[in-house]
């Protein structure tokens, strides 16, 4: 037994769940959700921008590394060098010059990129603050709605708790498991009708018919997994 109590429980539970759903699926809730998604995307964009900016600094280190790698040399007295030595030195210096000019160009281009990234970052950051603030203020309003709902439905919630005490624990656990895993829509508890499941219409007589003989008997529909009871 206990099916009657469970049906009573289900009736109030569905009504409360639907009322709650209407709040959770309201435009206000959707707006908050959308703003949350927007903020998340903005954060990701900002992070990606910061990574690009960090990469821009690489060219500075490149120049530093290049300069560091040039072996130190003692002071050269040009007057004592032979023509070949002088010519070799000139080639060496020219090669450094060419390389450094290339690094300088890379640095300048990165610098330009960096300043553009900075402008973009500021705009995105400004937008993120705006979105976050808007979401926070909407959350405050929404919380008021939820609080009012809780207050308005206090007696129903209490009643549900009272009925729950009268439902056999095993049945209530089964009901709640099915509700939580969300595998099927409400109602979760349905009537056994002419050998079939009262919800999905599947012929369950051969599979679980032997468990459904007298009032209060119940079984699980092998097709939709609802609780099917005999009445
Ligand atoms: Zn079924």
Q: What residue ranges define each of the domains in the chain, with the CATH number in brackets? A: 27-159 (1.10.287), 168-229 (no CATH)
Average pLDDT over residues 19-23: 92
Ligand 1 centroid–CA 1 distance in Å is 21
CA 180 to chain centroid, in Å, comes to 20
Q: Residue 67 corresponds to which tokens in the numbers above?
A: 């300069």
The residue behind tokens 């709640």 is 176
Ligand 1 centroid–CA 224 distance in Å is 4
**How high is the pLDDT of residue 35?**
98
What are the C-alpha distances in Å from 87 to residues 72, 77, 82, 127, 164? Answer: 19, 14, 9, 60, 98
The pLDDT tens digits for 135-172 are 999 999 999 999 999 999 999 999 999 999 999 999 99
Ligand 1 centroid–CA 183 distance in Å is 12
Ligand 1 centroid–CA 203 distance in Å is 8
What are the C-alpha distances in Å from 168 to residues 4, 103, 189, 217, 228? Answer: 11, 79, 14, 13, 16
The pLDDT tens digits for 30-56 are 999 999 999 999 999 999 999 999 988
Ligand 1 centroid–CA 160 distance in Å is 25
Ligand 1 centroid–CA 164 distance in Å is 24
The residue behind tokens 């089964």 is 174
Is residue 78's pLDDT more than 90?
Answer: no
Ligand 1 centroid–CA 8 distance in Å is 20
- Output the pTM of the full model: 0.68
As a whole number, the mean pLDDT across the chain is 93
């Amino acid at each position: 037994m206990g099916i009657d109590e469970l049906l009573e429980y289900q009736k109030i539970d569905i009504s409360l769940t639907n009322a709650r759903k209407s709040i959770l699926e309201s435009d206000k809730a959707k707006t908050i959700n959308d703003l949350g998604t927007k903020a998340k995307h903005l954060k990701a964009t900002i992070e990606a921008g910061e990574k690009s900016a960090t990469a821009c600094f690489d060219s500075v280190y490149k120049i530093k590394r290049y300069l560091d790698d040039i072996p130190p040399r003692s002071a050269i007295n040009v007057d004592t060098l032979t023509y070949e030595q002088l010519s070799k030195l000139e080639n060496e210096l020219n090669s450094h010059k060419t390389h450094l000019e290339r690094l300088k160009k890379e640095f300048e281009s990165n610098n330009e990129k960096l300043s553009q990234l900075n402008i973009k970052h500021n705009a995105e950051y400004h937008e993120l603050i705006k979105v976050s603030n808007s979401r926070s203020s909407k959350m405050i309003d929404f919380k008021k709605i939820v609080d009012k709902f809780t207050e308005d439905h206090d007696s129903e919630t209490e009643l549900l708790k009272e009925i729950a005490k009268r439902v056999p624990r095993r049945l209530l656990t089964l009901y709640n498991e099915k509700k939580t895993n969300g595998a099927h829509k409400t109602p979760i508890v349905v009537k056994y009708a002419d050998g079939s499941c009262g919800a999905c219409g599947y012929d369950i007589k051969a599979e679980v018919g032997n468990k459904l003989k007298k009032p209060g008997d119940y079984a699980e529909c092998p097709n939709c997994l609802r609780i099917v009871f005999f009445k």
